[in-house]
Structure formats: C-alpha cells, structure tokens
Chains A and B, each alone.
Chain A
Amino acid sequence: MRALSVSSEALDIRTRLLLSLVVSGVSIYLSGTGPLLALGAATLLYVLASGRYKVILVAYLAVCAMMALTVGVILLSFKIGEWFAAGTSWEQGVAMLKPALLGNFHTPFLRMIPALNVLLAIGLDFSVQRFVGAMKSLHLPRVALVPLMVFCRFVPEFIDVIRQLRDAVRMRGFSMNLGAALIHPIQAIRLTVVPLTVRTLRMADHLSVAAEMKRVGYAKRPTQLLALRFRRVDFAVLAVAACLLAAICAWQAAIPATPYGPSAMKSDQQQEAAHE
C-alpha cells in the first residue's frame, strides 16, 4: 500500500501546505453537518493514501479522548456549580445556560476532522530534509531564511542536548519528571533552563563566527542549489481539491444560515416547546 501512496515522494510539500491552509480555512467557514462531513471524508481519503492507518487511528482516538475530556470538564463544572448554587437564583441561571453550553458538540468536532486530516498528511510525511526543501522553495528573504536554516539544523541537536542534560541531572541525584517538578519547581526550572540557555548562547556565538566566515546571511537572497519543482501530480491534486472545495462551499451556501451560541440554543428550545 505504501508503494501506491500519494504521500511519500509524490507530492511537493508546498502542495500539502497549500491544501492544509485552504482546507482549514474552509472548515472554519462551514457550519452545516453535510458539508463538514463531506470535507471530512474527502480529507480522510487524502490522508489514508499515506497508508499509515495505525498512526491515523491513534490520532483519531486522541482527538476523541480530548473531546470526551472537554465534555467531562464542562459537565463536572456544572455539577459543581449546582452544588454551590442549590436553591438560589444562580441555579436558575445555570439551568438556563446549561443546554446552550452542553448543546451542539458535533459541529466543532466535525470541523476539527478536516484540519486534523491535513495536519496528519504533513506530519506523517515530515522529515528535516522535506522541511528544508519547503523552506528553500518558498524563496524567503534572509531575515526568515537564516533563522529557519538554524532551526532545521538545531532541533535534532537540541533534542540530543536535552537527553544528555537529563542524564547529567540524574547523575546529580535529581529527576526530570512530574514529581520532581512538583516538589522543587524552581530547582526544576534552574536545572533545565540554565544549562540549556548557556549552551544555546554559546552555540549562537560559534555559529555567528562561522556565519561571518562562510558569508551566510550576508546577501539578500542566496542562490538555491537544490530547489523543489512542482510536478504534474501536484497540479492534478490541486485541481481536484479546488473543484471539491468549491462544491462543498456551494453546498454550505445553499443551507440557510443559523445563528450560533446560547441564543441559538434558546430559540431551538423555544421551537421544541412550541411543537410540544
């Protein structure tokens, strides 16, 4: 399946970024269940093409867990509110707000799905090389290019430094975990921030010397030896995506607008009461 995937090597990273940008924008505009479901399904197919089903499933489960947690927190806060406000006018306020606040959960959830899918499509394909390729192909000016080059080069380095720091701290009889942070929060920060900032500032000194000698950052826009190029498949995918998104937006536009928030919920309730 990986061999057939659109993901691995076929698509230019700029295509993915553009898709991600447009899809998340459109998902914010959409509010109807139908259009959101359609967008969710289309983007799910797009991310499934990567063949990384297990990771996708885990990401979906994580989003579900987050939603459940949010619902749980809201319910709990109302329960606490009721305990405190029992027998007062506050209770009436809570009773009035409760349906509104506990109401429409599915729309935000559905809106999150397309954004999650396009994010996964980029994340599953992520590598430092791809990041560098994307950065170079955007033809950024030096103020953005130099820090981004440094960023790509040093994130893996810092992850390694942090691992070593963890060892150094443990050898001094301390731990870098939640318990230690709870017992000695200030010390936990000192043990992490001081060595890391010193290391970073020293690296900055060495790198700026190296940059001066290599002339890195001393031209407005450097030549790019290896720049990415768009291919047919990119244009094809973008064209299909444009058609689909236009159709979904048109569908949304055809649905009568509904207000949202407590007032909407209140009017829904009134309508239901009228029916009864």
Chain B
Amino acid sequence: MSEWMIDARDVAYRYPFTEAPALEGISFRLRKGEALLVTGASGCGKSTLLRLLNGLIPNHYKGTLTGALRVAGEVCPVPMETLAKRVGTVLQNPDEQFFATTVEEEVALTLEWQCRPRDEIRERVDGALRVLDLTDLARRSVFTLSSGEKQKATLAAVLAAEADLVVMDEPTANLSPEATDELARLILRLKAHGVTLVIVDHRLYWLRGVLDRLLVLERGRAVFNAEKMPGGEDLLDLLAAQPRVAEWGLRRVDVSRPELPACDTFGAPAVEIRGLTFRHSKKSRLIFDGFSANVPRGAVTAIVGANGAGKTTLARLLCGLAKPQAGEILHEGRALRRRDIRERAAFVMQQMDIQLFMRTVREELLFSAPRAVPRAVREAEADRLLALFGLVHLAERHPQSLSGGEKQRLVIACALMKRPSLLILDEPTSGLDGRNMRVIAAQLAQFALDGGAALLITHDLELLELVAQCQLRIEGKLQSGGESPPVAP
C-alpha cells in the first residue's frame, strides 16, 4: 500500500454548465498523520478541493474530473459508501450537520446507519468520547453545547466511524479564540494518533506549528504549494514572505489579542447604561444585575465576555428589542421608548438569511430606510452604499443568491441605510476571507469616524486588532462549561 494518504497529480475539475474550471493543475501529496491547510480568497476553489477529497464530487455534485487523484488508497472517483468509511468531514457549522439530539446519539449515528452491531457501536462511541474528553457530555443535549463542544462532538463522530482522513471546512469560523487554541492542540493529538487532516480555513494564525503542507489557491490554481522541511521554517512564515501574498486576499499569519482600554473613560457617551437588571423569564437566571457602563460616541467598542455572559442579550437591550426589568438605558442622555430606540439603532445579526426579505439588492436597501425619508433621498443613499460596499454590479440580483461575503456586506449596508447613531454587529466576519473582512473593518472605522457609536461582538481577533478602540466587559458565568478561560472577546 502506498505511503501517501492523498496523492493528487494535475487534478482539474469543472462544474456542469460552467466554462471556467473550478480547479486546475492541482498536485500535492500528503502522508498519514500529516496536516494540510488549504486557503485562499472566497471562490478560489478550496471548497471544491474539499469536496473532491471527501467524495461529494462526483457523488453529490456532478462535473468533469481529470488528472489522477488517490484518496486513502482508493483511485477517485470512488462510491461514497466506500470513501465514507475512511474519510470524515467536519463542516463549518456543526448545527447544520447534527441529526441527533444528544452527543452520544450523534457520535453513534454513522455506525447505526452502517448497521453495525450494538455492542460494537457502544465500544467505538465510548472510545471516541474518551479520546476527545467528552465522556461527561455523552448524554447532554446538543442544544446546550457551546460552539467548541459542538465541534468536538462532530470530531468524535468522525473518529468513532474510524476515519483516518479528516477534512475540516472552516472549523474556526464560529469558535472563540480559546476554543480555537484547543482545536489546534486537538489536531496535534489526532496527528499523533495517525489521523491525517485537511483543513480549509481563512484564519491562519492558529495553525502555527501544526501544518505539514500549505496550499494557497487563486481562481482554481495553486499559487503557493509548500511542504514543511524537517527543522525548516514554519509554513506560515514562508507564506508571509511571499512577494505576492497581499494580492491573494488572505488573512494575516500573526494575530494577537489586542489590549483595549475600558470604554467608560474613552469619550463622550452615546449610550449610558444605568443599573441594568435583566433575565429572560421569571424562572431563568439573572443575566444582568445592576450593570452600568457607557458606550462612547465616535469609537468602535468591543463587547467582551465569556460564552453565555449575555453579549447578544446586551445588544438586544441596547437596540430596544428587549425590555430590562430594572435600570435604564439613555440614548444621547434621554430615556427613549423602545420603538424610538429601534429607529436610531441598527443591529446586524449573525444569521444573514433571515435579514434579507426583498426581491433585489436595491429593493432590500430601499426597504431598510425609514419610511419617512423621501424616495429620492433613499434612492441616492442606496446608490452611495452600493458603491461603497462594492455591490453596484449586484444591484438587481436576488439578495438570497449572493455569496456569503456579498450578503454580509449587504446586511451591513442595509443597517447603514437607517443612518443609525448606534450600530451593533454580531460576528460580522465569521467565515470571511481577508479581503471581505478588511472592507467591513474599513466601513466600521468610517462609521465611528463620522461620529457613530459602533459595538462589535466578535471572536475574530484580526478584526478586533484592526478596528476595536475600547472594550465593554461583561462579567458573567459560563453557561455551558465547555470553553476553558472565562474571558473571550
């Protein structure tokens, strides 16, 4: 048997009804127990490569494959049922991958549908849970897990199904920095167990010291393809030294947690929070108990706190979407009705699909403006924002047909159509490449420069480094006990 877990020679692939190939001239080899990172700007072909490796192409997505590709000793194309026994996949959002309602059942699922005997399933499930330190969470409902725990449960399911090649699609997009560090440690452990890993991700910094091979794609072609030499330089440093790296739309290879001053002393307050007390219902725990803070005008403030501390709840309270049981929130020094607050504030939520309602991008923008604004003014403002966010050529497209980065830019543009004095963004750059992330960071900085108060809830350290000027810290208890240190941006 070949020593190579993946052996790709001049692989090219084209989707049906398209002229340009999604991948072209891809060649690389990966040994058992090695880790490969595939990165590149949105639309570069990295998801296509991932689909080729896990068999979704050509079993689920059709098209034309040329060149020679061997995965786990099998010459592709291979029937899915053959490949599924060797290759496990971890998708970006575990929520869209879970079928069962408890950790144990989810881990057992593939084996159950392979009709393995009950005793064998039990043994494998227990083993996988042990390897990933999930034994205590076996009976926990998946609805109560943190993002990091969900990611681990997905990995456990893959390991229980005996996969020796694991492909991961944007595994850190929804993880806190602590959970991301833990994932890096876990990958090292899996490598030591002989598991081969292919990671497709925009975020790079967390993979320092983990990678054996790095592949950067641009328009379907490999523009950087390097293997780690024993005792040689880290692949991320090699990448950073490339002369054309800035053109590839990547994120930075070195990111650190910024030290931010407290927001209370940063400048004149746009929003004052006084003695805020809130719980979701009479029976639920108290989230805020006499909490006070100031949100400064003309600055980007990061909301910092542990998972479950109430960052999104605070955002809902500040926008007038929830009502505190006690205390007050003053906007520009005045206590406003919640309806009036909603007119002045804009809130960009994490889930984009549910924030788009109309038939075209332009209509979506026009719909977002207050109805009191005259039509002509609205039209002019929509044109300005279309240009600012690089959406002019998409103005007549259906908003739901846009790519992730385009949609994210659109929902932020829609929020700005209101000309808000307070703008809150919840994870605006998760899953975005460096280019899209920098567009959003620039607009956010401009909003603050124009005198607006911007609040940012994000796990994206690079975005924080780029735009956050101060922080609003919420002290709260961990809700689901998974992710280690309690403070996370």
Contacts and interface: CB of A to CB of B under 8 A. Distances in A.
Interface of A: 128-129, 132, 149-150, 152-153, 156-157, 161, 164-165, 167-168, 170-173, 190-191, 194-196, 198-199, 202-203, 206-219, 221-226
B115 A222 contact: yes
B413 interface: no
B105 A225 contact: yes
Contact of B354 (A132, A168, A218): A168
A149 B141 contact: no
5 contacts: A132-B101, A173-B370, A207-B96, A214-B161, A215-B114
A36 to B, nearest CB: 38
A216 B105 CA distance: 12
- Give chain B's interface residue range (CB within 8 Å of chain A): 35 or more
B112 A206 contact: no
A75 to B, nearest CB: 39
Nearest to B161: A214
Contact of B321 (A170, A208, A225): A170
B81 to A, nearest CB: 7
A171 to B, nearest CB: 5
* Interchain residue pairs A-B with the least CB separation, the first 8: A206-B96, A222-B112, A195-B354, A210-B97, A222-B113, A225-B108, A199-B353, A214-B110
A161 B353 CA distance: 10
Contacts of B96: 203, 206-207, 210
Interface in B68-120: 80-81, 84, 88-89, 91, 93, 95-102, 104-105, 108-118
Interface string B321-356: 100000000000000000000110111010101111
B47 to A, nearest CB: 11
A210 B91 contact: yes
Given A167-B349, A215-B81, A225-B118, A191 B357 contact: yes
Contacts of B116: 223
Contact of A153 (B98, B118, B371): B98
B122 interface: yes
Contact of B99 (A167, A170, A172, A214): A214
A5 to B, nearest CB: 20
Which residue, A165, A203, A225, has most C-beta atoms of chain B within 10 A?
A225
A223 B321 contact: no
A225 B125 contact: yes
A202 B353 contact: yes
Given A164-B351, A173-B343, A206-B91, 8 more contacts: A172-B367, A190-B357, A202-B353, A209-B91, A213-B80, A218-B113, A223-B118, A225-B122
A16 B404 CA distance: 47
Interface of B: 54-56, 59-60, 80-81, 84, 88-89, 91, 93, 95-102, 104-105, 108-118, 121-122, 125, 141-143, 157, 161, 316, 319, 321, 342-343, 345-347, 349, 351, 353-357, 367-368, 370-371, 400
A171 B357 contact: no
B60 A209 contact: yes
B84 A198 contact: no
A170 B320 CA distance: 9
Contacts of A195: 353-357
Contacts of B114: 215, 219
B353 A198 contact: yes
Given A171-B347, A225-B105, A194 B110 contact: no
A157 B141 CA distance: 13
B113 A216 contact: yes
B91 A215 contact: no
A158 to B, nearest CB: 11
Nearest to A171: B347
A153 B150 CA distance: 14
A218 B357 contact: no
A223 B109 CA distance: 9
A206 B104 CA distance: 21
Nearest to A195: B354
B81 A161 contact: no
A79 B109 CA distance: 62
A164 B114 CA distance: 37
A203 B93 CA distance: 11
A165 B88 CA distance: 33
B357 A194 contact: yes
A212 B99 contact: no
Contacts of B97: 206-207, 210
Which residue, A202, A214, A217, A226, has most C-beta atoms of chain B within 10 A?
A214
Nearest to B398: A198
Nearest to B343: A173
B90 to A, nearest CB: 10
Given A132-B101, A149-B100, A173 B342 contact: yes
B400 A161 contact: no
Contacts of B357: 172, 190-191, 194-195
